[in-house]
């Protein structure tokens, strides 16, 4: 987002401009998403912040915490597992999590994957 976040840290919260779809201010649905939690009437889906950060709402337990733990293990500063270090090349960089009141399970923040 606006400033860097260490892996596993709290991503800085963008100001909330809660409008019709309750998007964080300036965010839009991810334009090139082809699968997964897509934007719709009952789901917010993946969003993109104007700075390029991708925001993904975490699912309720056990899936959401499991996904967050996975990113924390792979991108943790103390990670020395050669498999995880190699895997980083194939994943968008994990920037941390954000816990706005509008997302009860939290939001995973990653760099845009090109």
pLDDT digits (tens, 9 = 90+) for 8-30: 555 544 433 333 456 777 888 88
Residue 7 has pLDDT above 50, yes or no: no
DSSP string, 45-64: --EE-TTS-EEEEPPSTTHH
What is the Cα–Cα distance from 51 to 60, expressed in whole angstroms? 27
Cα 71 to chain centroid distance, Å, stands at 10
What is the Cα–Cα distance from 91 to 60, expressed in whole angstroms? 22
CB 74 within 8 A of CB 8: no
Tokens standing for 48? 């993109």
- pTM value > 0.95: no
Share the mean pLDDT of the chain: 79
Residue 64 has pLDDT above 80, yes or no: yes
CB 1 within 8 A of CB 15: no
Hey, how many other C-beta atoms are within 10 angstroms of the C-beta on 36? 9
What is the Cα–Cα distance from 16 to 92, expressed in whole angstroms? 24
Q: What is the pLDDT of residue 45?
A: 78
Residue 86 has pLDDT above 90, yes or no: yes
* pLDDT, greater one: 112 or 72: 72
Residue 113 has pLDDT above 70, yes or no: yes
């Amino acid at each position: 987002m606006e400033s860097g976040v260490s892996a596993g840290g709290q991503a800085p919260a963008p100001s909330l401009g809660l409008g019709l779809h309750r998007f964080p201010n300036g965010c839009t649905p991810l334009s090139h998403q082809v699968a997964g939690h897509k934007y719709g009437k009952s789901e917010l889906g993946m969003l993109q912040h104007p700075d390029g950060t991708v925001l993904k709402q975490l699912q309720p337990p056990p899936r959401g915490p499991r996904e967050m733990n996975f990113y924390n293990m792979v991108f943790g500063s103390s990670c020395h597992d050669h498999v995880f270090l190699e895997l980083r090349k194939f994943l968008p960089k994990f920037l941390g999590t954000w816990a706005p009141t509008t997302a009860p399970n939290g939001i995973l923040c990653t760099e845009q994957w090109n």
